[in-house]
Amino acid sequence: MSSRGSSVQTGLQRPSAWYATPALLFFGLFALVPMVLVVYLSFTDWRGFGFPGLSGTENWTRLVQDGEALDSLGLTLLFMVLSWLVQTPIAIMIGVWAAGKQRNRAVLSTLFFLPLLLSTAAIALLWRSVLDTNFGVTQALPVLDRFNFLGDTSIVVYTVVFVVSWQYIPFHTLLYQAATRGIPASLYEAATIDGAGRFKQFFQITLPLLRYTIVTSSVLMLVGSFTTFDTILILTGGGPGTATRVAPLYMYITGFSAYELGYASAIAVLLLLLGGVLSLVVTRATGFRNMQSEQEGV
């Protein structure tokens, strides 16, 4: 009886592996199969018509020697670093604030999260109109009249970072808001009794307990930089010149404008590898894989 009871109990605690079948099928159909096909196409000279013909490592050799592709990768890394430096501190501060009980907090938070309801195309078109030199904000505010935010190669990258940050900061803010609300109030009460002020509580309680949320947000942010191209495509088209032609956009133009889908697939595989390596590096360097509860003993 005890053996039978223990087996029944074990069965209740550990669901059957068949429960994972729908998720595995979904992953295989929409993730694994496309990745395998892209890897295969990276070794072909396919131009979008007919059957792909194998070309060996020709695309990869070209990719190593392609100066424009290497420049776009460098620009992607710059875009990634700038996006992280802008989005992370702002998202943390607003997320911690939104987790509080301030007056009118709910109304202000709702207004702030509005960009999450808009499509990427709508956001890019909105900011392209706002920053237009003919009828945009530069015409309404004379102090900005000397700036060409979308046409000056020296500032257009920062303009793109600003627009993308405006779009995605609300999402990362939600992560920090939820994580902050999970911090026990007893920690702040004890810190208050010990005489710790708000800033000391933030740096000694809130920020350390947000460590793994910061890692999660950073991975999503950094890896997302390797796939962001639609906002840039609508906002600047990669210009002026090639000032904002990041690697994902270069891949898109190569594949769907020049119809060199084999070469574009090689670029896609490279971005996939870089994104995967970056995720592993961040998770290993931060100890995220060995994550333990930050509230143990509370």
Between 13 and 248, name the one with better pLDDT.
Answer: 248
pLDDT of 109-167, one tens digit each? 778 888 888 899 999 999 999 998 888 887 777 777 788 899 999 999 999 999 999 99
**What pLDDT is stored for residue 283 in this prediction?**
84
**What pLDDT is stored for residue 13 in this prediction?**
65
DSSP codes, 82-119: HHHHHHHHHHHHHHHHHTS--TTHHHHHHHHTGGGGS-
**What pLDDT is stored for residue 8 in this prediction?**
47
Please return the burial class of 87, using the count of CB atoms within 10 Å of its CB with bins 0-12, 13-18 and 19+: buried
DSSP code at position 53: P
Average pLDDT of the chain? 87
Angle of the 156-181 helix axis to the 120-130 helix axis, nearest 10: 130
pLDDT of 168-195, one tens digit each? 999 999 999 999 999 999 999 999 998 8
Backbone angles phi and psi of 54, in degrees to 5: -65, 135
Percent of the chain with pLDDT over 90: 61
Between 16 and 225, name the one with better pLDDT.
Answer: 225
Is the pLDDT assigned to residue 16 strictly greater than 70? yes
Measure the CA–CA gap between 164 and 151, rounded to whole angstroms. Answer: 17
* Beta carbons of 274 and 226 less than 8 angstroms apart: yes
Is the pLDDT assigned to residue 39 strictly greater than 90? yes
Tell me the residue type at 171.
Answer: F
pLDDT of 207-242, one tens digit each? 999 999 999 999 999 888 888 989 999 999 999 999
